[in-house]
Amino acid sequence: MTITDEALKSPRVQRKRERARQRILQAAEQLMRTHGVDTVTIQDITDAADVGHGTFYTHFKTKMDVLVPICEETAKAHTRRLDHLTADMEDAAEVVSISTRHLLHAIEKDPLWTWFLCNSKLPMDDLRRGIGGSGARDVRRGVEKGRFAPLSEAIAESYLLGALIGVVREHFAGIHEENTAEEAARLTLRTLGVTDDEARQIAHRPLPPLPTEI
| Residue 57 binding its own copies, by CB under 8 A | no
Task: Check the CA dihedral 124-129-135-141 and report its sign.
Answer: positive
| Residue 190 binding its own copies, by CB under 8 A | yes
| Residue 203 binding its own copies, by CB under 8 A | no
d(CA 124, CA 171) in angstroms, rounded, equals 17
H helices within the chain, ranges in order? Answer: 3-9, 11-35, 42-49, 53-59, 63-86, 92-109, 111-119, 123-131, 134-144, 153-171, 180-191, 196-203
Q: How many whole angstroms from its chain centre is CA 90?
A: 25
Query: Residue 173 or 207: which CB sits closer to its own copies?
Result: 173
Reduced to 3 states, what is the DSSP secondary structure of residue 112? helix
| Residue 37 binding its own copies, by CB under 8 A | no
d(CA 21, CA 81) in angstroms, rounded, equals 26
| Residue 62 binding its own copies, by CB under 8 A | no
Which of 96, 107, 160, 203 touches its own copies by CB under 8 A? 160
Least distance in angstroms from the C-beta of 133 to its own copies: 16
Which of 67, 95, 164, 203 touches its own copies by CB under 8 A? 164
| Residue 47 binding its own copies, by CB under 8 A | no
| Residue 136 binding its own copies, by CB under 8 A | no
Applying CB under 8 A, the residues found at the interface with its own copies are 121, 124, 149-152, 154-167, 169-171, 177, 179-180, 183-184, 187, 190-193, 195-196
